[in-house]
Amino acid sequence: MATSDLTLHEAATLLGVHYMTAYRYVRLGLLPARKVGGTWCVGEDDVAAFRDREGGRGTAQQATASADRGIGEPRSGFGDVPSVDVARSGRLRAPWTERIEARLLAGDVRGTWSIVEAALAAGSSLSDVYLDVITPALVSIGERWATGELDVSDEHRASGIVMRLIGRLGPRFARRGRTRGVVVLGCPVGEQHSLALAMLSDLLRQRGWEVSDLGSDLPVSSFVRAVTTIGSDLVAVGISVGFELGAVAETIEAIHTASPGATVVLGGRAITSAAHARSLGADRFAPSLDAILAVLEGLVEFGVPRS
């Protein structure tokens, strides 16, 4: 523990709250903290900033109590929203992304889930949680690892926690009724990242699609076999690492050869533009989860042919 660090008991005393209340602040991402040898440690500066931001005991306690009770829409002056931005749905929301990123980097599984529950209770939709909370946090962690600020173990641990979150949230995306069609998702051989694919699967199911998620690191022959066996005309391929672009082009060419009517949508951080996607043989480019949802909607609604 650094000399400027406080125990959680000491932080609670300075804030004038019970230890368990301070613990709830940590679990909700309201109060930054980290574990050192099994003990929660809080920086003195973080305690002071929290106290100034939240305006004291009343508003912070209101925030945690509201999250626990599942009170719906955030509103002006709500204690859990010291700073706000506009969510995709137009609602005001707390900075859930920053909070969940902090808990992911702390390796705090329970705290991460608490933030998801709080965001849902505050009015965020399941799609909001994937698109506006978890995804930006993962992007930030990936960028911080790429610049050397974080170790690869930090990135891997965060990814593992997110996969557990997806496992818990996935069944909530189920939708009954007539299917809109079948989409095959997969990452080519060499691509190990599958979190975006897993979230996309849930988002598509919520919108009425039947999804066949093939996962990551898929050999060309296996990818093609799945597409032809399933009989889907819509295939989404994801790639995040540039050195595997040869495998992407080979996979797309093989899919087109085996299934000439298939439309292949390509996306991921390694694809920089629509022209780049076309150069690899793709029919459509989707730089983000939002974009691929829109592309697939457009293909079905307007019957856009492969060009």
What is the C-alpha end-to-end distance of the chain, expressed in Å?
A: 60
Token pair, residue 303, equals: 């019957």
CATH of 176-302, one of 2.60.40.2700, 3.40.50.280, 3.40.190.10, 3.40.50.2300: 3.40.50.280
* CATH number of the structural domain 1-69: 1.10.1660
pLDDT computed for residue 2 by the predictor: 58
Most confident of 215-224, 240-249, 294-303: 215-224
Give me the phi and psi of 267, to 5 degrees please. Answer: -155, 180
Write the CB contacts of 304 (distance below 8 Å, at least 6 apart in sequence): 263, 298
Taking the C-alpha atoms of residue 106 and residue 158, their distance in angstroms, rounded to an integer, is 9
Taking the C-alpha atoms of residue 289 and residue 200, their distance in angstroms, rounded to an integer, is 6
Q: What is the pLDDT of residues 171-197, one digit of tens each?
A: 999 888 888 889 999 999 988 888 999
* Average pLDDT value for residue range 270-292: 91
Instruction: Show the CA angle centred on residue 267, arms to residues 153 and 147, nearest 5°.
Output: 35
Q: Is the dihedral of CA 112, 118, 124, 127 positive or negative?
A: positive
Taking the C-alpha atoms of residue 305 and residue 300, their distance in angstroms, rounded to an integer, is 10
pLDDT computed for residue 9 by the predictor: 83
What are the domain boundaries of the chain?
A: 1-69, 72-173, 176-302
**Can you state the percent helix, strand and coil of the chain, rounding each to 5?**
55, 10, 35
Q: What is the pLDDT of residues 20-51, one digit of tens each?
A: 778 778 877 778 888 787 788 888 888 888 88
* Average pLDDT value for residue range 231-249: 86
4-8, 46-50, 66-70, 236-240: least confidently modelled range: 66-70
**What's the whole-model pTM score?**
0.70
Q: Following DSSP, what letter does each residue of 228-292 receive, concatenated? A: HHHT-SEEEEE---GGGHHHHHHHHHHHHHH-TT-EEEEESTT--SHHHHHHTT-SEE-SSHHHH
**Assigned superfamily of 72-173:** Methionine synthase domain (1.10.1240.10)
Mean pLDDT over the full length of the chain: 81
Q: What is the pLDDT of residues 109-144, one digit of tens each?
A: 999 999 999 999 888 999 999 999 999 999 899 889
